[in-house]
Amino acid sequence: MPRILRIAGAQMGPNQRADSRPAILARMIALLDQAAEAGAKLVVFPELPFTTFFPRWLIEDQAELDSYFERAMPNPDVQPLFDRAREKGIGFYTGYAELTPEGKRFNSAITVGPDGAILGKYRKVHLPGSVEPRAGDRFQQLEKRYFEYGDLGFPAFRGPAAWHAPVLGMLVCNDRRWPEAWRCYGLQAMELMLIGYNSAAYDPNGGSTENEAIRTFHSTLAAQANAYMNATWAVSVAKAGNEDGSGLIGGSVIVDPNGVIAAEAKTLGDEVIVADADLDLCRQGQTKMFNFAAHRRPEQYRRIVDQVGAQPPGA
């Protein structure tokens, strides 16, 4: 029997700091409804979709900072999304800022099954930015200040039988540029990677090194190539547009195991993309070109784990 899973990405336009949480959640529920009406069984929301991307500011008021975090998942603020998803029988991936009972903070993601059960959880490993604010910059990138490095590794998990029991993986934003992260899932025979992101469209402080076109190209290139090299489907979904004065790329895509784009967002706003993922398409790569058991040579890869930074020859 063919293993076809209809999947969706729910790209979101910007969440302004002034937007209320219920207003943002209502947009997410509308996107979930669209995905369900299109027949999707699983919809992917962006990284940190419930609020603005708060790591762009130095926030010294602890109560304000805490307001961006979830102390449990689900919780009353997000429960209506969970309720609607279960009602429609659709699962979803969502990012969120996690505050644990022990007071630890992570940039996390969960995948929720069609029955509302949490199937898997991930904590972002590749935190960009800095701990200390950069002097004189209007916009910061303070993920290393607000979050701890993910401590769950890269834990693949199986989706339900109603989805044809695919092996699923999750990453968050910047992780998608790191082939080590994809490979750790590829080594678990992943068939579908779920990713949400917020990526700057340009330097919000006025630098001109990279424009929106090249940054969108990078985002798409990373999804395509890493999907191909791990013989997996991937859904990579943005929060996009001008958010509180800082531009975010769109470019949400669904990519097949050949690295070919199956669906792509055309806007910088709320937009649902959909594709039918033939999960058995992963078999071609998994059993031939990327038959890891036949072709990988880990004894030659030691540098990847023995060394953190780059060391030029002769240095």
Which residues are identified as catalytic? 47, 124, 173
DSSP run (H or E) holding 264: strand 261-264
Q: Would you count residue 205 as binding its own copies (CB under 8 A)?
A: no
State in angstroms the smallest separation of the CB of 284 from its own copies. 6
Residue closer to its own copies (CB basis): 96 or 182: 182
Q: Number of residues interacting with its own copies: please give it, by CB under 8 A.
A: 69
Residue closer to its own copies (CB basis): 9 or 159: 159
* Torsion over CA: 155, 156, 160, 161 (sign): negative
Q: How far apart are CA 27 and CA 40, in angstroms?
A: 18
Task: With beta carbons less than 8 A apart as the criterion, state whether 81 and 93 touch.
Answer: no
Q: Under DSSP, is residue 88 helix (H, G, I), strand (E, B) or coil?
A: helix
Task: With beta carbons less than 8 A apart as the criterion, state whether 98 and 69 touch.
Answer: yes
Which of 82, 157, 160, 261 is in the footprint of its own copies by CB under 8 A?
157
The alpha-helical segments, DSSP class H, found in 12-78 are: 21-37, 62-66
Residue closer to its own copies (CB basis): 150 or 204: 150
State in angstroms the smallest separation of the CB of 295 from its own copies. 6
State in angstroms the smallest separation of the CB of 292 from its own copies. 5
Residue closer to its own copies (CB basis): 155 or 269: 155
Q: Would you count residue 312 as binding its own copies (CB under 8 A)?
A: yes
DSSP run (H or E) holding 95: strand 91-99
Between the alpha carbon of residue 107 and those of residues 123, 251, 314, the distances in Å are: 6, 21, 38
Of 104, 97, 87, 99, the closest CA to residue 15 belongs to 97
Q: Would you count residue 208 as binding its own copies (CB under 8 A)?
A: no
Residue closer to its own copies (CB basis): 142 or 181: 181
Q: Would you count residue 298 as binding its own copies (CB under 8 A)?
A: yes
Q: Would you count residue 2 as binding its own copies (CB under 8 A)?
A: no
Task: With beta carbons less than 8 A apart as the criterion, state whether 11 and 263 touch.
Answer: no
State in angstroms the smallest separation of the CB of 150 from its own copies. 7
Instruction: List the x/- string, 166-195, binding to its own copies by CB under 8 A.
Output: -x------x--xxxxxxxx-xxxx------
Instruction: List the x/- string, 101-130, binding to its own copies by CB under 8 A.
Output: ------------------------xxxx--
Which of 69, 122, 154, 163 is in the footprint of its own copies by CB under 8 A?
154
Q: How far apart are CA 120 and CA 129, in angstroms?
A: 26
Between the alpha carbon of residue 281 and those of residues 2, 157, 178, 223, 232, the distances in Å are: 10, 19, 23, 17, 8
Q: At what angle do helices 21-37 and 79-88 cross, to 10 degrees?
A: 10
Of 235, 221, 228, 238, the closest CA to residue 275 belongs to 235
Q: How far apart are CA 309 and CA 44, in angstroms?
A: 33
State in angstroms the smallest separation of the CB of 162 from its own copies. 18
Which of 20, 62, 208, 300 is in the footprint of its own copies by CB under 8 A?
300
Range 221-260, binding its own copies (CB under 8 A): 221-222, 224-226, 228-229, 258-260
State in angstroms the smallest separation of the CB of 116 from its own copies. 21
Interface stretch with its own copies, choices 68-76, 80-88, 107-115, 213-221 (CB under 8 A): 213-221
Q: How far apart are CA 62 and CA 196, in angstroms?
A: 26
> Residue numbers of the site for its own copies (CB under 8 A)?
125-128, 149-150, 153-158, 167, 174, 177-184, 186-189, 209-210, 214, 217-218, 221-222, 224-226, 228-229, 258-260, 284, 286, 289-298, 300-315
